């Protein structure tokens, strides 16, 4: 064991960090990567335990991420996972701090949001890597003395030697280089006056880094006008805090009382009453459901695909395209409805984006196209309504084009904010302006039908009962009054 001192900071030629590595964090974010991906932090962001970190003036969301840091001991280039741990000299604790207010500015590179002075504290002591099992390390984080993160390397999607080996495929890792190996669930926002502590230990070996302490202070120097300044969206707040509830971000949704009414009636009853109002073309037809028997009521969010044209796919299909934007912004209780033109020759949603929608709290996904990774999508708790399974990727037939616009799905028009009601009988689109009155009518009708069903069960003829004549209507009124209907 040795302390982390200025020589450790000065010896770090580069600081490399993993985006997502713990399963708990990946599930929280709703995306589970197949392979690790990385970003770099400036070596000037390194600091020692006890050094204060400034929340930059004008920013709101300084977030902590407790992490296990690896310090390279011997040069590594194109090493294999089985040999990679031998190139790690030391293990210590780190805090991968960042300001979400600047995350937008560098297109995912995290240069400014993650590389501020003091944004990578490490220490306070180094554990010899040769003395510990990389699969037996524990990470804990405290804010103001309260435990907020606790996980072990058993919870990693990619073990530590694999991360070292993977990085060494394209770059030489030199002695002193530092690798931040990702954070588990529990990362959130800290404010001036808070103290964040991170500790790494190897329980089986009885070795511990001690607590890395970082007090948070308030910066006073404002950003100048010649560069990107702080900017935030509610989505940034949700990501920084870990949930909309923790971030205090209101999520749009149906009035709970109206939602309960619509959940209490069948789509068959709704369809009949919509027809009475002259609305005959409000059903999304021809789809099956991954969770038969599901009852879904929620506000529609919309996504439109257009036929693939290779030049346009290059500009609209890659990166954070309309499909990913729609899924990454769906709110709890909403239903994402996709216009895929009834095209069955490719998938329109798969396992990772389906999981992301579920984590975001979506009530359902509805697409009149195919589903890819069907077994995994069908295994989600969130139902997906779809045309058919298909193994092909989106780009075979579609370009994700636009969101939150009027679309056509399964033969009907759907607008953002329409109310989707689905059950075993089908999927209906309810105009919100008539939803309350319609729900009340359906509740009354189902009460009447409950009475008629009971009377038929007692042996009465349907003649004069269905529909009810004045005599039966009088008997029904008495029956309903007795039951508080």
DSSP per residue over 264-313, as a string? HS-HHHHHHHHHHTT----EE-S-EESSTT--EEEEEEEEEEEE--HHHH
Q: How far apart are CA 467 and CA 256, in angstroms?
A: 32
Q: In a 3-state reduction of DSSP, which class is residue 130?
A: helix
What tens-digit pLDDT sequence spans the chain (485 residues)?
A: 899 999 999 999 999 999 999 988 887 776 678 899 999 999 999 999 999 999 999 999 999 999 999 999 999 999 999 999 999 999 999 999 999 999 988 877 899 999 999 999 999 999 999 999 999 999 999 999 999 999 999 999 999 999 999 999 999 999 999 999 999 999 999 999 999 999 999 999 999 999 999 999 999 999 998 988 999 888 888 889 988 778 887 766 788 999 999 999 999 999 999 999 999 999 999 999 999 999 999 999 999 999 999 999 988 888 889 999 899 889 899 999 999 999 999 999 999 999 999 999 999 999 999 999 999 999 999 999 999 999 999 889 999 999 999 999 999 999 999 999 999 999 999 999 999 999 999 998 988 889 999 999 999 999 998 889 999 989 988 888 888 77
Q: In a 3-state reduction of DSSP, which class is residue 106?
A: helix
Which residue from 67, 65, 52, 77 is spatially nearest to 192, judged by alpha carbons?
A: 52
| pLDDT at residue number 481 | 86
- Whether cis (ω within 30° of 0) applies to the bond prior to 408 is no
| pLDDT at residue number 182 | 96
Task: Name the CATH topology of 2-246.
Answer: Fumarylacetoacetate hydrolase; domain 2 (3.90.850)
CB distance 430 to 386 below 8 Å: no
Give residues with Cβ within 8 angstroms of 335, minimum separation 6: 296, 298, 299, 300, 301, 362, 363, 364, 365, 366, 420
Q: Among 3.20.20.60, 3.40.50.720, 3.50.30.40, 3.40.50.280, name the CATH number for the domain at 281-430.
A: 3.50.30.40
| pLDDT at residue number 319 | 80
- Whether cis (ω within 30° of 0) applies to the bond prior to 124 is yes
In the chain, domain spans: 2-246, 281-430, 436-482
Instruction: Identify the H or E element spanning 222.
Output: none
| pLDDT at residue number 251 | 64
Q: What angle do CA 329, 331, 337 make, to 5 degrees?
A: 80
What pTM was estimated for this model as a whole? 0.63
Q: How far apart are CA 312 and CA 261, in angstroms?
A: 44
Q: How far apart are CA 412 and CA 265, in angstroms?
A: 21
């Amino acid at each position: 064991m040795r302390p982390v001192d200025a020589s450790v900071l000065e010896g770090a030629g580069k600081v490399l960090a993993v985006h997502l590595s713990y399963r708990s964090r990946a599930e929280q974010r709703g995306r589970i990567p197949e392979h690790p991906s990385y970003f770099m932090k400036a070596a000037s962001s390194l600091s020692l335990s006890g050094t204060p970190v400034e929340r930059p003036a004008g920013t709101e969301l300084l977030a902590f991420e407790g992490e296990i840091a690896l310090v390279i001991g011997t040069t590594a280039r194109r090493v294999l996972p089985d040999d990679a741990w031998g190139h790690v000299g030391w293990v210590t604790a780190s805090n991968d701090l960042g300001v979400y207010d600047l995350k937008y500015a560098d297109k995912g590179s995290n240069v400014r949001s993650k590389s501020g002075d003091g944004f990578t504290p490490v220490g306070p002591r180094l554990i010899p890597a040769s003395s510990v099992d990389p699969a037996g390390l524990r990470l804990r984080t405290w804010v103001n003395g309260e435990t907020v993160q606790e996980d072990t390397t058993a919870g990693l999607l990619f073990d530590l030697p694999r991360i070292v080996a993977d990085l060494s495929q394209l770059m030489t890792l030199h002695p002193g280089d530092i690798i931040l190996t990702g954070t588990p669930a529990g990362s959130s926002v800290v404010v001036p006056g808070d103290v964040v502590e991170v500790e790494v230990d190897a329980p089986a070996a009885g070795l511990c880094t001690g607590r890395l302490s970082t007090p948070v202070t308030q910066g006073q120097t404002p950003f100048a006008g010649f560069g990107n300044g702080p900017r935030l969206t509610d989505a940034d707040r949700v990501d920084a805090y870990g949930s909309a509830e923790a971030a205090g971000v209101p999520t749009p949704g149906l009035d709970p009382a109206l939602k309960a009414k619509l959940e209490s009636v069948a789509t068959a009853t709704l369809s009949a009453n919509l027809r009475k109002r002259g609305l005959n073309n409000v059903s999304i037809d021809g789809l099956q459901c991954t969770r038969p028997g599901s009852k879904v009521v929620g506000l529609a969010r919309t996504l439109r695909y257009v036929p693939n044209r290779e030049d346009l796919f290059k500009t609209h299909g890659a990166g954070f395209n309309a499909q990913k934007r729609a899924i990454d912004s769906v709110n709890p209780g909403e239903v994402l409805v996709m216009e895929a033109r009834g095209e069955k020759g490719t998938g329109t949603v798969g396992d990772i984006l389906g999981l992301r929608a579920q984590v975001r709290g979506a009530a359902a996904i509805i697409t009149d196209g195919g589903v890819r990774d069907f077994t995994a999508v069908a295994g989600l708790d969130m139902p997906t309504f779809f045309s058919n399974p298909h193994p092909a990727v989106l780009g075979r037939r579609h370009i994700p084009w636009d969101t939150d616009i009027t679309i056509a799905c399964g033969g009907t028009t759907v607008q953002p904010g329409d109310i989707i009601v689905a059950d075993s009988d089908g999927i209906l689109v309810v105009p919100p302006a008539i939803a309350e009155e319609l729900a009340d009518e359906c509740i009354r009708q189902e009460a009447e039908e409950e009475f008629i069903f009971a009377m038929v069960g007692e042996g009465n003829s349907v003649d004069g009962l269905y529909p009810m004549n004045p005599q039966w209507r009088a008997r029904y009124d008495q029956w309903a009054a007795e039951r508080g209907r």
